[in-house]
A and B are shown apart, each in its own frame.
With several copies, the nearest count.
Chain A
């Protein structure tokens, strides 16, 4: 379904990785591991087509994602280090405008169900700026949940989440896997998934 072919990434003077290849099948969960600065974020941005690799390519259903962006983007969702939350919009409007980027028009009820699931019930009308950092991240969880994407690419999804939040994320990934979806993610904290999980290790040598 999804395949990375001999990717190479260079930042400033440093070669972060080269000849990196892997594939992700349906119902597969893949963790990208590596120390600080080993290139996890860079890799994920390459997988999204946001960054071009120095060499190699990323394939989605046997086609390069660069030449086939629309299909690819219709079936994947990415969340990065950044919150994507507008302080001036309410929680509901925030989720809605994220869904708009994917041209999904859902009813308020559907969104409210998802918000309740991620622990933001009764927060629909609160503006983004009045949320704590953990609550902001939860808006993204609701977005992923509603995105109807097959492939999830998650960069440090546990950031700012407290213990309950971590459990929630874990169960969301499990559900998605059971529904036949795939997940690629990174994390510094342990994620306890009760399933098998492949992993890719970046930057063996860590300094300092």
Chain B
């Protein structure tokens, strides 16, 4: 079993195996995304409360979900990397960070663009927004630490540890901000009503969510392959592979 995992998780094996997967993931992400956007932008009805502005939902919500999902992937694979010393896991974590950061960024930007028409301000200091912002900072911290430490192995372990500590922190932040806000219930906190989901809105939303996941899967594979090439640059399999290119 152990040997099987070791062999299966060797960068060389991964490199060979991942190429077709990338193709499948990216093609299906594209198809689902296009169909989801078509349904979302053309078919879904106008929201009676928010007007057309709600159509931001089809990118905002999937991006927000992904930003959290990717962080979990990053933390879990960092944990695997630290505990079982599996290099591939470290690579997946390192490859996930920039993708997750860009999802968090998209969620923030689209959210605040949505906030202006809905709340009259680009930004309010409420629980969800604040914890998303801090999530972005956690990603940035991970990336900064990763690039600041020269020794690759230490960099992986150190930033992996940070990712894990960050996991402990995320729920704490979330509940602390929430509690802090509800204590101060007032004109400040703009509660947004959860739009009662019309089925015609829900379907494109879910399609987009799946498309984003597939997109992430394709991207993380591509980036992990790069990491594998770079980190194994002195091993024979990379040398032979590059010479064939």
A touches B (Cβ under 8 A): yes
Residues of A within 8 A of B (CB): 10-15, 52, 129
Please give the distance in Å from A136's CB to the nearest CB on chain B.
15
- The residue in chain A whose Cβ has the minimal distance to the Cβ of B152 is A12
**Contact in complex: A15, B234 (CB < 8 Å):** yes
Given contact pairs A12-B150, A13-B234, enumerate 7 new A-B contacts (beta carbons under 8 Å).
A10-B234, A11-B151, A13-B233, A14-B234, A15-B234, A52-B153, A129-B150
Interface size class of B (residues with CB under 8 A): under 10
- The residue in chain A whose Cβ has the minimal distance to the Cβ of B157 is A52
- Give a binary string over B211-245; 1 marks a CB under 8 Å from any A CB, 0 the rest: 00000000000000000000001100000000000
Residues of B within 8 A of A (CB): 150-151, 153, 233-234
Q: How far, in whole Å, are A10 and B232 apart by their CA atoms in the complex?
A: 11
- The residue in chain A whose Cβ has the minimal distance to the Cβ of B85 is A52
- The residue in chain B whose Cβ has the minimal distance to the Cβ of A14 is B234
B contact residues around A129 at 8 Å (CB): 150
Please give the distance in Å from A82's CB to the nearest CB on chain B.
18
A contact residues around B151 at 8 Å (CB): 11
Q: How far, in whole Å, are A144 and B153 apart by their CA atoms in the complex?
A: 32
9 examples of A-B residue contacts, CB within 8 angstroms: A10-B234, A11-B151, A12-B150, A13-B233, A13-B234, A14-B234, A15-B234, A52-B153, A129-B150
Q: How far, in whole Å, are A129 and B233 apart by their CA atoms in the complex?
A: 18
B contact residues around A11 at 8 Å (CB): 151
A contact residues around B234 at 8 Å (CB): 10, 13-15
Q: Do most interface residues of chain B lie in helix, strand or loop, or is the interface mixed? A: loop
Q: How far, in whole Å, are A14 and B233 apart by their CA atoms in the complex?
A: 10
Q: How far, in whole Å, are A66 and B215 apart by their CA atoms in the complex?
A: 41
Q: How far, in whole Å, are A11 and B151 apart by their CA atoms in the complex?
A: 8
Please give the distance in Å from A62's CB to the nearest CB on chain B.
22
Query: Closest 4 interchain pairs by CB?
Result: A13-B234, A129-B150, A13-B233, A15-B234
Please give the distance in Å from B150's CB to the nearest CB on chain A.
7
Q: How far, in whole Å, are A13 and B230 apart by their CA atoms in the complex?
A: 10
A contact residues around B150 at 8 Å (CB): 12, 129
B contact residues around A52 at 8 Å (CB): 153
Please give the distance in Å from A83's CB to the nearest CB on chain B.
16
A contact residues around B153 at 8 Å (CB): 52
Q: How far, in whole Å, are A170 and B234 apart by their CA atoms in the complex?
A: 37
Q: How far, in whole Å, are A10 and B151 apart by their CA atoms in the complex?
A: 10
Q: How far, in whole Å, are A109 and B234 apart by their CA atoms in the complex?
A: 31
Please give the distance in Å from A105's CB to the nearest CB on chain B.
32
B contact residues around A13 at 8 Å (CB): 233-234
- The residue in chain B whose Cβ has the minimal distance to the Cβ of A11 is B151
Q: How far, in whole Å, are A13 and B235 apart by their CA atoms in the complex?
A: 10
Please give the distance in Å from B89's CB to the nearest CB on chain A.
16
Please give the distance in Å from B146's CB to the nearest CB on chain A.
16
Q: How far, in whole Å, are A104 and B48 apart by their CA atoms in the complex?
A: 73
B contact residues around A12 at 8 Å (CB): 150
Q: How far, in whole Å, are A168 and B46 apart by their CA atoms in the complex?
A: 82
B contact residues around A15 at 8 Å (CB): 234
A contact residues around B233 at 8 Å (CB): 13
Q: How far, in whole Å, are A12 and B152 apart by their CA atoms in the complex?
A: 8
Q: How far, in whole Å, are A10 and B153 apart by their CA atoms in the complex?
A: 10
Q: How far, in whole Å, are A14 and B152 apart by their CA atoms in the complex?
A: 13
Q: How far, in whole Å, are A12 and B234 apart by their CA atoms in the complex?
A: 10
- The residue in chain A whose Cβ has the minimal distance to the Cβ of B233 is A13
Please give the distance in Å from B84's CB to the nearest CB on chain A.
14
- The residue in chain B whose Cβ has the minimal distance to the Cβ of A87 is B150
Q: How far, in whole Å, are A14 and B151 apart by their CA atoms in the complex?
A: 12
Q: How far, in whole Å, are A11 and B233 apart by their CA atoms in the complex?
A: 13
Q: How far, in whole Å, are A52 and B157 apart by their CA atoms in the complex?
A: 12
Q: How far, in whole Å, are A52 and B151 apart by their CA atoms in the complex?
A: 12
Please give the distance in Å from B152's CB to the nearest CB on chain A.
9
Please give the distance in Å from A125's CB to the nearest CB on chain B.
16
- The residue in chain A whose Cβ has the minimal distance to the Cβ of B150 is A129
Q: How far, in whole Å, are A14 and B150 apart by their CA atoms in the complex?
A: 14
